[in-house]
Amino acid sequence: DIQMTQSPSSLSASVGDRVTITCRASQSISSYLNWYQQKPGKAPKLLIYAASSLLSGVPSRFSGSASGTDFTLTISSLQPEDFATYYCQQSYSSPLTFGGGTKVEIK
Amino acid sequence: QVQLQESGPGLVKPSQTLSLTCTVSGGSISTGSYSWSWIRQPAGKGLEWIGRIYTSGSTNYNPSLKSRVTISADTSKNQFSLRLSSVTAADTAVYYCASRITIFEDAFDIWGQGTMVTVSS
């Protein structure tokens, strides 16, 4: 199985901050990397697919990038509604696997 | 607009079989090149992909659960289902059905709201 390691596991930030979350794959997954946002009691929502493609309707302050087996989700200016847990997920090979999550909390 | 809705018992006894159904509305599970997945999340923990069924009817399971999992589809009811046998407390989780609808790439852009399943006697 491909292991997805997210860092940090949690972070505290203020509204307006630039936030970066990293996900590292245990082997090459090309650009088969997706990012989700999950709020308490709700299903995850897809933000970014194929490493850097923004899903229609997702605010442009969210962006994704890739460098080798390292992937980054960036929120350019954190908004109150962005406080949530973020997960990466690889779709390169089965079984599909998720990172452990990054909880973004209010500072 | 395609929507997914999970349904099934919220309480299952240990060693029994967990059965859940995902009803698809606003679209057909038998058209296109989609796949339909089950994903679960224990309380306070991360997401685990269980497996999926393709529109062709073929299936793909997580090896960690493969010996206990069956995913099937009923095209007449526009539903797909999960059966997980010999459950233990470790199978207690919120179970989601999910798929991709609006994009070509393999990602989950549509989810059900999730259903909580507790394994307990």
CB contacts < 8 Å between A and B, how many? Answer: 62
pLDDT tens sequence across B29-53: 988 768 999 999 999 999 999 999 9
**Is A1 within 8 Å of B63 when comparing Cβ atoms?**
yes
pLDDT tens sequence across B59-114: 999 999 999 999 999 999 999 999 999 999 999 999 999 999 888 888 999 999 99
pLDDT tens sequence across A50-99: 999 999 999 999 999 999 999 999 999 999 999 999 999 999 999 999 99
pLDDT at B34: 81
pLDDT at B33: 64
Label the pairing between strands B18-25 and B79-84.
antiparallel
Chain A residues with CB inside 8 Å of B109's CB? 46, 49, 55
What's the whole-number mean pLDDT along residues A19-40?
98
* A57 Cβ under 8 Å from any chain B Cβ: no
pLDDT at A31: 97
CA distance B77 to chain A (A): 24
pLDDT at A73: 98
Residues B98 and B86: beta-carbon distance below 8 Å: no
* Candidates B40, B59, B105, B115, partner chain A, best to mutate (most A CBs within 10 A): B105
Is pLDDT of A8 > 70?
A: yes
Closest by Cα among B69, B63, B31, B71 to A93: B63
CA distance A34 to chain B (A): 7
**Is A34 within 8 Å of B108 when comparing Cβ atoms?**
yes
Residues A49 and A29: beta-carbon distance below 8 Å: no
